[in-house]
Amino acid sequence: MLALFPSTIAPLQNRRSKYAPAYRFVVDYFNFHPNGTFVSKQRIAGDYRRNDDGTVEWSNVNIATAPALDATFGLGQQQTYMNGFRYRASGDLLFKPDFFKDFPATATQAKNLVWDTFMFETFAQQVAKLTETPYRLPPSDVPLAGSGTFQNANIELTRAGTFERGGQRLTVVHYEAFFNRLNHNLPGMKLVGRSDYWGDIWVLPATTTVQRATLFEEVVGELRIGSQPNPQIVNVVRRGSFESVAQ
């Protein structure tokens, strides 16, 4: 679970351009027992596009599972409610319940795709302010679209160098946020715990356009299911790769 700053978003009609930036976002979830024993893993992947009218759009989103830590993921199941899901990524509606009104109530992994991409692009917009000294953002309580709250304790952004890619010189932005609090409510269950997340973003400084990004997160917490008297201790690790793709 990862969230950022509230911002206003309004769904809009879409115009596509073959030159609009497009990306493939792949995130793996690994679930463990408290003693480190592997339980299960899932992969959610989707295509993300910026359109020439300023909207963004998702397509080809699917979720696959695998029974072992080293097992290969299958083709997965299409998340049809996300096909053609488009919006203008600015404002605080992204964190309001009505924004995800067509999503299943338990579609946290799909909502994370939306929040994570918004985070990458928001952090990238800070690139002109960054140096090798960490740039700290203030603590923030972020509503999870009606399903709880994510409390960012201390986000730090750092200019981590430059990188040559495709004839362009990119700035690498390192981000990290440790000791965040999570209170996540879903139908029939509630998770309370701690989140630590970090990664790198490759940014074209002149336009603050993201070329690629990585994401790592670990969540440890207590999960209560229904009227179960004792909570389960859960440990979830996320690993994500956000990559621009050829048009």
- Whether the pLDDT of residue 1 is over 70: the answer is no
- Whether the pLDDT of residue 10 is over 60: the answer is no
The predicted structure's pLDDT at residue 74:
86
**pLDDT digits 0-9 by tens, 111-147:** 999 999 999 999 999 999 999 999 999 999 999 998 9
Distance of CA 242 to the CA centre of its chain: 10
**pLDDT digits 0-9 by tens, 209-223:** 999 999 999 999 999
**pLDDT digits 0-9 by tens, 41-99:** 999 999 999 999 989 999 999 999 998 999 999 889 999 999 999 998 865 667 888 89
Listed in sequence order, the residues at least 6 apart from 170 whose beta carbon sits closer than 8 Å to its beta carbon are: 162, 163, 164, 202, 203, 204, 205, 211
> pTM for the complete prediction?
0.90
Listed in sequence order, the residues at least 6 apart from 64 whose beta carbon sits closer than 8 Å to its beta carbon are: 42, 43, 45, 73, 74, 75, 76, 77
- The sign of the CA dihedral 5, 81, 196, 28 is negative
